[in-house]
Amino acid sequence: MKFVVTGGAGFIGSHIVEAIAGSHEVVVIDNFSSGKRENLRRFADSISGIQGSITDLPLLKDAFKGAEGIFHLGAIASVARSVDNPIATHETNLTGTLNVLLAARDCGVRTVVFSSSSAVYGDEPALPKREDLPSVPLSPYAVSKLAGEYYCKVFSELFGVRTVSLRYFNVFGPHQDPQSEYAAVIPKFITKLLNNQPPVIFGDGKQTRDFVYVKDVVQANLLAMQSSATGTFNIGSGKSIDLNSLARTVAEIMKVRISPIYEEPRSGDIRDSVSDITLAKKVLGYQACYSLEKGLAETIPWFRHQNLGIGSGELGDHQIST
């Protein structure tokens, strides 16, 4: 079968590509604004690449011809960046998602699996977060993901494109970029400690998050594509940890003793979050298989190798067509 992965050179997208490359025809669409060619280097010979944007509808229609399904991960995936530049986030995350759905409809694609976010819940106080709770988005990023879910629902009901929206909680693992100003907390913590620097916590560190390992997220995407289900599902670990405890856990695994420093809270950040994954278990057969510690045990060596300059070669430009 043919599958298209938008944002396929990015953190999560490249792991999905790795899982299906060789077994299926895989087309990656990425503009490389945040995705990296090196993420695709090991299996570049078994995929096709298109350097382009999901804001380009004719490009999508051409790429989607003959596809069985679309894993739609192309996005500006940052709350902080969306606060700084709401228009760019809207154009990529919402107009881009509408383009993906239009192209899927017009090309007869059976299924679109949409990467959404737990950010849609905002500071709704009920815990754990269930899919039937009110959505109270606190950032343009969260608004774009919630609106994308509604577009998916409408395209399922009006046009017969089966859509599944997966609300990721805090995903971590190899291929995350620690250098970005908007990098996620775990790669930032690891990189700081590798360089004998204190990790930075915004706020008091008592805010809680549900960290889910990237291989569990890949599993959820594959299950969603294989199923006959439609709708929205939480994808997390079902467990939470506060950031102070996270910093201690990372430091203990890395066998270093460096205490974090604290800065002012960031606008748009939520206070507490943990997933209820009951619905994903029941309908998709999803099960989080990686504990935080097990995921970190696979993640930290990858960042250590990157820090030493190991395995960071570029994928040749000749392997990405325009």
CATH number assigned to the domain comprising residue 194: 3.40.50.720
Catalytic entry in 141, 151, 286, 290: 141
Q: Does residue 306 belong to any structural domain of this protein? A: yes
Position 53 scores a pLDDT of 97
Which residues are CB-contacts of 210 (< 8 A; sequence separation ≥ 6)?
Answer: 118, 169, 170, 236, 237, 238, 239, 240, 273, 274, 275
**pLDDT > 90: what percent of the chain?**
89
Residue 314 pLDDT > 60, yes or no?
A: no
7-52 pLDDT, tens digit per residue, is: 999 999 999 999 999 899 999 999 999 999 999 999 999 999 999 9
Q: Does residue 192 belong to any structural domain of this protein? A: yes
pLDDT confidence of 318, banded at 50, 70, 90?
very low
Q: Which secondary structure element, helix H or strand E, spans residue 295, and what is its range?
A: helix 292-307
Q: What is the pTM of this model?
A: 0.93
Q: Does residue 272 belong to any structural domain of this protein? A: yes
Residue in 111, 135, 112, 131 with CA at minimum distance from that of residue 123: 135
Q: Does residue 316 belong to any structural domain of this protein? A: no
227-244 pLDDT, tens digit per residue, is: 999 999 999 999 999 999
Domain count, the chain: 1
Which residues are CB-contacts of 62 (< 8 A; sequence separation ≥ 6)?
Answer: none
Q: Are 187 and 177 in contact (CB under 8 A)?
A: yes
170-202 pLDDT, tens digit per residue, is: 999 999 998 877 789 999 999 999 999 999 999
Q: In 31-179, where do the E strands start and end?
A: 48-51, 69-72, 111-117, 162-168, 170-172
Q: What backbone phi and psi angles, to 5 degrees, belong to 171?
A: -85, 140
Whether 182 is catalytic: no
Q: Are 184 and 172 in contact (CB under 8 A)?
A: yes
Q: Does residue 203 belong to any structural domain of this protein? A: yes
Q: Structural domain of residue 106, as residue ranges?
A: 2-310
Residue 322 pLDDT > 60, yes or no?
A: no
